[in-house]
Structures are given as structure tokens and as C-alpha cells.
Amino acid sequence: MSVKVTHLTKLYDLQRAVDDLTFEARKGEVLGFLGPNGAGKTTTMKIITGYLPQTGGAVEVCGFDVEKQSLEARARVGYLPEHNPLYKDMYVREYLEFTARLNRTSNARKRVEAMIERTGLASHRQKQIGELSKGYRQRVGLAQAMLHDPEVLILDEPTSGLDPNQIVEIRQLIKDLGREKTVILSTHILAEVEAVCDRAIIINKGKLAADAPIETLRQQFSGQSIVTAEFSGAVSQPQLLAIPQVQSVKNLGKGRWELRAAVEDDIRAAVFHFAVQNKLTLLELHKSVFSVEEIFRELTK
């Protein structure tokens, strides 16, 4: 197990920022860390990286306790903090070489060059960090985190403030990294979790609200499949409820209706037959399951 968090608790004065949190992250997995602002995401990450001490519980990184074997644990973690703090007056290469030496990376120069290539910083290596745009700074932050080839990467909102093209590139980079390493990534962009992560952990007010692969989460949670149908003429609620397997019906305005059924039942055929029998034209028929967005809102209410 690359990262093992057991009964983690963090108190700020009397406020429980993290409350009895237990989860694990495996190698070759991108773990999405989700939660509303102030849920305790950043605090948890700061504890994993050894920046803050926990009040209770324990965190292990590659088998090393982050408090008792801090140096060993820290050497195995790459960290991109929330606001990506960098030294603005340093040059890209100078900064990365400094980080490499700080991490005691062997053949630092070669690693730095490799990272510059990998993060697409090649044309900017001679620039001062302060001159770079936000997207490129974020790349420097990522390069810095990956420089010493750590087994665990902790990325706190890695795509915040980037333009759509940059977001796609950075996500691809994170996905590639996730194949060989353990990546824990926090975000409040839900599409990002669907695009990048294998598994999601949702925390709310410091407590674990969900921990499951994205697919399972979606299915489990929904429990119901939703069919949206639009008819050309007037239909009444009891008529629709008479359709086999339909559990509930909601009018969305005019001829549009939302029909719910158990997740394993597909009621689309039945709805179509209903329309034919009643000589109605079906203008729309669409089946959907809960989106991560809805799951998130449901869980963090």
C-alpha cells in the first residue's frame, strides 16, 4: 500500500478539520480527492506530506510513518501545494536543479532535462519563473514534484487557473503518471475526477462520505435509472405510472416527463409502446444515470 491513512484526525483549536478519516491509495492508481471548500482536503494532504502534524491517527507512505520516519517518507513524496509557490526570481532550470539537489537526486542534470522535456518546458528553460504564464508555472510545479521520481505524488488542485487546452495536457500527464505511481489529486472540478481518476474519495466536513471506483460510485449511488421523454400531446401522470416498472414520474414542463425505474430495468421500450398505443409522437427519449456532479451534491448536502 503506497499511502495508508488510518483514523486520521486534525483539530484546529476546537474545530475538527479532519475527522476519523481512513483510506488507502494503491500503486498505479489516480485517486481523486473530492469535497467542498473547507472539507479538509488540503489539510489531509499537508499531513500526508509531513507539513502539518496530525492530532490523532496515523499516515504511512510506502510503509514509513510520516511523523516518526519523516525524512524517509518525505523522500518518497512529490508535492504540488495548492497555490504552487515558486521562487519567482529563479530561472526554470536553476530552480529545478536546486530542487534536485534538495532531494539528493542522482545525476540531477539529466533528470532535470528529462523533466523539462516531459512537462513541455523546453522552450522556457532559460526564463525566469516570474516571467512565465500561469500554465507554465504549473508545469514547473509539476516538474518539481516529479523530479526525484517519487513513488507518491500529492497534487493539490493541479489544474486550477489553467486554460482548457492546458487542462487537457496536464490531465493527460497526470493520467500517464498514474500508471506507474500513486497519485492523489484534489479538486473541486467534478469533470476532472471523471476524466482522470480511477477512484474517488469524497469527504465532507472532514468525514469520509464515499470511497469507491468512479463506476461503482455512479451505479451504487444512483440506484435508479432516469428516462426523460417528451410527447407531442397531453399525457397524465396516472397514465405514465401505469407503464410497467415505472416507479415515479415528474413533469418537467409541457410534454416533457422524467420517469424513474430501478437501475437494472430499461423502460425505454415500454415508453415507446405507450406512445404508440396512445397515438402520441415521441419527440425525445433519453436514458441517463446519476452524474458525479449529482452524487457529489447528494453526499455533501
Does 42 engage in binding with another protein (CB under 8 A)?
no
Does 144 engage in binding with another protein (CB under 8 A)?
yes
Does 50 engage in binding with another protein (CB under 8 A)?
yes
Does 256 engage in binding with another protein (CB under 8 A)?
no
User: What does the buried/exposed string (b/e) look like for 209-220 if buried means 16 or more CB atoms within 10 Å of the residue's CB?
Assistant: bbbbebeebbbe
β-pair type (248-253, 77-80): unpaired
Looking at beta carbons only, is 136 or 274 nearer to another protein?
136
Binding segment toward another protein, per CB under 8 A, in 25-33, 87-95, 132-140, 224-232? 87-95
43, 44, 103, 222: residue in contact with another protein (rule CB under 8 A): 103
Looking at beta carbons only, is 104 or 254 nearer to another protein?
104
- CA–CA distance, 180 with 99 (Å, rounded to integer): 22
Binding segment toward another protein, per CB under 8 A, in 45-53, 177-185, 221-229, 293-301? 45-53
Residue 104 CB, nearest approach to another protein (Å): 7
Q: Rounded to the nearest 5 degrees, what angle is found at the Cα of 155, between the Cα atoms of 160 and 174?
A: 85
User: What does the buried/exposed string (b/e) look like for 152-178 if buried means 16 or more CB atoms within 10 Å of the residue's CB?
Assistant: bbbbbbbbbebeeebbebbbebbeebb
Does 134 engage in binding with another protein (CB under 8 A)?
no
Helix (H) or strand (E) holding 137, with range, is helix 134-146
83, 134, 250, 297: residue in contact with another protein (rule CB under 8 A): 83
β-pair type (56-61, 64-65): antiparallel
Cα–Cα distances (Å) from 181 to 48, 49, 170, 175, in that order, read: 16, 16, 16, 10
63, 85, 130, 223: residue in contact with another protein (rule CB under 8 A): 85
How many residues belong to the site for another protein (CB under 8 A)? 28
Does 273 engage in binding with another protein (CB under 8 A)?
no
Looking at beta carbons only, is 64 or 290 nearer to another protein?
64
Residue type, 185: L
Binding segment toward another protein, per CB under 8 A, in 5-13, 67-75, 217-225, 237-245? 67-75
Binding segment toward another protein, per CB under 8 A, in 93-101, 209-217, 271-279, 281-289? 93-101
Q: Rounded to the nearest 5 degrees, what angle is found at the Cα of 152, between the Cα atoms of 200 and 93?
A: 120
State the maximum Cα–Cα separation within the chain, in Å, rounded to a whole number: 76
Does 195 engage in binding with another protein (CB under 8 A)?
no
Residue type, 223: G
Query: For residue 280, what are the contacts with CB-CB under 8 A and spacing of at least 6?
Result: 231, 232, 233, 235, 274
Does 49 engage in binding with another protein (CB under 8 A)?
yes
12, 89, 176, 237: residue in contact with another protein (rule CB under 8 A): 89
10, 41, 46, 111: residue in contact with another protein (rule CB under 8 A): 46
Residue type, 248: S
User: What does the buried/exposed string (b/e) look like for 196-205 if buried means 16 or more CB atoms within 10 Å of the residue's CB?
Assistant: bbbbbbbbbb
Residues that bind another protein in the complex, under the rule CB under 8 A: 46, 49-53, 71-72, 74-75, 77, 79, 81, 83, 85-90, 94, 98-99, 101-104, 144
